[in-house]
């Protein structure tokens, strides 16, 4: 006798099983393509599935176009296939094949041939949007490490979190978590800070367009790196007192970067948010793409420290990509889910998950503030 009989299927579960049994039948698939009512739906789903199957090819096409300088070259002026091939040290046939692939995903666009009949090219809409986006270009370069781990995704999952090239890249953060001193010249520290500096303005724009930081007097950016976020805040709200908090070698490097940018008034505090209390005297604390990199125990501790550091009525602002983002579930759950697994720390969290963590830390009036591009970042505020 089964002492643990299976739960009785819910109505939704029975519907899903019935639906899937039909979708798996070749005869139903053929019929769906013949019926006008279902044909368009079937074509849309087929195109989406094909994009999933072939997505890695599109990604590598993009990588090649960026690495060969094609986007940068076409951003200056249109060029022929032969000219692009010569500049990239490729045969013309190879360049023609790459440009055709890039045109298919709207990175480049064909122009009328020149007077000698040679094909000419300019940027496509996606290519034009990407050409001068330093943050996106930095992520394309950074993703080469992640894709090495993803070459064998089953092996990546079986070895547990971390253990691959992406985890090695983040060794600076792991060393800090073990209480080991980081070096300002450590390649991991330098590469991490450079990546954050390049990609942070994209996130900062979303925050600044969505939330009025100008109503605050003093802001502390925890995990502020070289000060990319506070620099954007300073440009938009020069009257706000600004400070950042990061590991001592990072804060020391930030001091030089901020001084060179004419931001000597910005304070740079050194310390570890795992081990040290946060500085006080600020009416808002920001956590910009910090929490999803860490496991729940670390996040709970950081939120508790932020609560301790803030005055009564002070504000905590969290901004990062999140799980269960309507219309961008693939970014929060698929991309960041596997990325953070490979990194060896953290997980994508939903707004509801952050609500629970914030409430446990003592925060109230927890709400989400809409951002223009929630797939890039979502924004949560909470009050002490």
Percentage of the chain exceeding pLDDT 90: 58
pLDDT at 355 exceeding the cut of 80: yes
- CA atoms within 13 A of residue 287's CA, in its CB half-sphere: 26
Give me the chain's average pLDDT, please: 87
Question: What burial class does residue 82 get, using C-beta atoms within 10 Å of its C-beta: 0-12 exposed, 13-18 middle, 19+ buried?
Answer: middle
Separation of alpha carbons 138 and 258, rounded Å: 21
pLDDT at 61 exceeding the cut of 60: yes
Separation of alpha carbons 303 and 317, rounded Å: 11
Query: What pLDDT is attached to residue 198?
Result: 66
Query: What pLDDT is attached to residue 72?
Result: 95
Query: What pLDDT is attached to residue 31?
Result: 72
pLDDT at 143 exceeding the cut of 90: no
pLDDT at 5 exceeding the cut of 80: no
Confidence of residue 185 (pLDDT cuts 50, 70, 90): very low
pLDDT at 1 exceeding the cut of 50: no
Query: What pLDDT is attached to residue 240?
Result: 97
Lowest-confidence region among 72-86, 166-180, 229-243: 166-180
Q: What are phi and psi of 214, to 5 degrees?
A: -65, -15
Task: Write the DSSP string, 171-183.
Answer: HHHHHHHTTPPP-
User: H helices within the chain, ranges in order?
Assistant: 11-23, 26-34, 36-67, 70-76, 81-88, 92-104, 125-131, 134-150, 153-158, 165-169, 171-177, 187-210, 228-236, 248-260, 296-309, 329, 336-343, 351-360
Query: What pLDDT is attached to residue 202?
Result: 82
Query: What pLDDT is attached to residue 20?
Result: 77
Confidence of residue 191 (pLDDT cuts 50, 70, 90): low
Continuous segment of H or E residues that includes residue 333: none
CA-based nearest residue to 121, from 67, 66, 93, 83: 83
Domains and CATH numbers, the chain: 20-131 (1.10.10.10), 134-383 (3.40.50.150)
- With contact defined as beta carbons under 8 Å apart, do 222 and 287 qualify? yes
- pTM (2 d.p.): 0.79
Lowest-confidence region among 145-154, 184-193, 358-367: 184-193
Query: What pLDDT is attached to residue 193?
Result: 55
């Amino acid at each position: 006798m089964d002492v643990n009989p299976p739960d009785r299927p819910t109505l939704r579960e029975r519907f899903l099983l019935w639906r899937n049994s039909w979708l798996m039948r070749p005869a139903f698939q053929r019929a769906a393509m013949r019926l006008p009512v279902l044909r368009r739906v079937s074509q849309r789903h087929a195109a989406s599935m094909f994009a999933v199957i072939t997505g890695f090819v599109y990604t590598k096409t993009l990588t090649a176009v960026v690495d060969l300088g094609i986007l940068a070259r076409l951003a200056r002026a249109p060029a022929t296939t032969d000219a692009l091939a010569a500049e990239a040290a490729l045969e013309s046939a190879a360049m023609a094949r790459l440009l055709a692939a890039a045109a298919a995903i709207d990175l480049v666009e064909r122009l009328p041939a020149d007077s000698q009949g040679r094909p000419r090219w300019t940027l496509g809409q996606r290519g034009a949007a990407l050409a001068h986006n330093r943050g996106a270009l930095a992520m394309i370069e950074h993703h080469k490490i992640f894709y090495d781990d993803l070459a064998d995704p089953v092996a990546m999952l079986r070895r547990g979190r971390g253990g691959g090239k992406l985890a090695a890249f983040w060794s600076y953060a792991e060393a800090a978590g073990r209480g080991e001193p980081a070096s300002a010249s450590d390649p991991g520290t330098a590469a991490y800070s450079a990546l954050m500096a390049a990609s942070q303005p994209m996130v900062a724009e979303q925050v600044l367009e969505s939330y009025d930081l100008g109503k605050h007097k003093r802001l502390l950016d925890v995990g502020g790196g070289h000060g990319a976020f506070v620099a954007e805040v300073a440009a938009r709200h020069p009257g706000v007192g600004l400070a950042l908090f990061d590991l001592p070698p990072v804060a020391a490097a930030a001091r030089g970067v901020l001084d060179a940018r004419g931001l000597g008034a910005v304070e740079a505090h050194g310390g570890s948010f795992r081990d040290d209390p946060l500085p006080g005297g600020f009416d808002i604390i920001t956590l910009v793409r910090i929490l999803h990199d860490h496991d729940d125990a670390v996040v709970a501790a950081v939120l508790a420290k932020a609560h301790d550091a803030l005055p009564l009525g002070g504000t905590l602002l969290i901004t990062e990509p999140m799980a269960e983002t309507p219309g961008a579930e693939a970014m929060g759950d698929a991309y960041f889910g596997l990325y953070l697994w490979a990194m060896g720390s953290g997980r994508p969290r939903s707004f509801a998950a952050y609500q629970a963590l914030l409430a446990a830390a003592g925060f109230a009036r927890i709400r989400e503030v809409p951002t223009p591009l929630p797939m890039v970042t979502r924004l949560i505020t909470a009050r002490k």
